[in-house]
Amino acid sequence: MRPIPVLLVTSTLLALVGCGAKGPATAPVTTTTTRNAPAWIDNEEIPDGLGAVGIAQPNPMGDKALQRTTAIADARTKLAGKLKVRVQNMFTQLNQQVTTAAAETGQKPIKNDVMNRVIENVTRQLTDQTLVGASTRESWTDPQDGSLYVFVVMGKDTLDAALAASAKAQIHKEIAQGEQSLDAALGKLDSAIAASNAHPAQ
């Protein structure tokens, strides 16, 4: 019997080991490497409102209540950022509608500084009021490192109602101070809110 070259045997074994080790791709579903982590950790978008995920590491005292408070605070901060984007989207839609109407009727367009002031005031007021009503929809603790994830949401109907009320209040305030160019904005507010909702915050 002819001896089998050692090089051939070695190559064959390496090939077999390589084939045996290679299995189906198992890329993690979420940013956490822990298996079975919930999908909402990476997918915060919901059809019925705004959502954000907050994260808190375990603390040295092992205080679960403090960890939960920290995670919720983190989620609320992120939610406030999304809320600001939503407000800006709404006023962008509103400004476009009012500017188009002004061009057709010969009215003066809304001044940029006035619009920016209203946006800032609405954002501040809405953030203070609405985040109080935000609720924790889901929570999950990573069994590997003990990190707590919480999914905090604001309902669409509540958010839209608060957005409309706050915007109307600020627009009325500016009109009372002489900014008559905002008159047309009140009639277009609902459609601007609906349009901004069709382009969710990123």
Give residue 199's identity as a one-letter amino acid code.
Answer: H
pTM of the model: 0.72
Q: Which CATH architecture has domain 39-197?
A: Roll (3.10)
Are 44 and 136 spatial neighbours (Cβ–Cβ below 8 Å)? no
Burial label for 168, CB within 10 Å (0-12, 13-18, 19+), is middle
**Residue 64 backbone dihedrals phi, psi, to 5 degrees:** -70, -35
For each of the chain's 202 residues, which pLDDT tens digit applies? Answer: 444 444 443 444 334 434 444 333 333 345 666 678 899 998 898 988 899 999 999 999 989 999 999 999 999 999 989 988 988 898 888 888 888 776 666 667 677 888 888 888 888 888 877 777 789 999 999 999 999 999 999 988 888 888 899 999 998 998 898 887 788 888 888 888 888 876 554 4
Q: Which two tokens stand for residue 103?
A: 């061009």
The ranges assigned to domains in the chain are: 39-197
Q: Which two tokens stand for residue 1?
A: 């019997």
Q: Residue 31, Cβ neighbours under 10 Å: how many?
A: 11
